[in-house]
Chain A
Amino acid sequence: QSALTQPRSVSGSPGQSVAISCTGTTSDVGGYNYVSWYQQHPGKAPKLMIYDVIKRPSGVPDRFSGSKSGNTASLTISGLQAEDEADYYCSSNADRYTWVFGGGTKLTVL
């Protein structure tokens, strides 16, 4: 499986919105609604932010939202806050046992 494609970096000012894209193929992102997004702060474990493309685990602010169109999924963060600065990874799990991750996107809050 090839890694999903994410931009290396995105940035935004506090209060603004940013979107991070995640492009795959019809065998992963495009073929199933099983895209997840993870937030990782330096030296920390990843944290689940979005699953099944659009669903938010309890405790995740509704500023975080997910969507998908064709082979590309997106994570949108609205009302940017300083604590949102982190690395973000998308993943796809089509068959319950194997995962493919994106290369990661570094979000900078200006």
Chain B
Amino acid sequence: EVQLLESGGGLIQPGGSLRLSCAASGFSFSSHTMIWVRQAPGKGLEWVSSCGGDSRTTYYADSVKGRFAISRDNSKNTMFLQMSGLRAEDTALYFCSRKQFGVHTIDVWGQGTTVTVS
């Protein structure tokens, strides 16, 4: 079964740092671009960052550029999001997700991990 399991969320003060992890199972992890998407309380989905299968290609939303860093360890089927300089507006449920191979869509989502900046 294809699964994504996020961890690392919590309560953090403004200006602090946090590292999210996403453990993947049930598929060829290194073959897929992986993505972080967040959802602020009561709000819509917001793309945060993407990492290509080889780790060399990374993209960030303007709202997090320079503060967040995405990475992955294909040997451990795990993706990370290092967040620093956290702001109140970063408070959200952070979803780990998978881009479907060869298709321009996100086909698998984790259940999310909550980050609260306060």
Contacts and interface: CB of A to CB of B under 8 A. Distances in A.
Interface residues of A, number: 27
A16 B69 CA distance: 46
A51 interface: yes
Nearest to A57: B107
Given A45-B110, A97-B57, A3 B104 contact: no
Contacts of A51: 100, 103-105, 107
Interface stretch (A17-25, A68-76, A77-85, A99-107): A99-107
A38 B106 CA distance: 9
B100 to A, nearest CB: 7
Interface of A: 3, 32, 34, 36, 38, 40, 44-48, 51-52, 57, 89, 91, 93-94, 96-104
Interface of B: 33, 35, 37, 44-47, 50, 52, 57, 59, 61, 95, 99-100, 103-107, 109-112
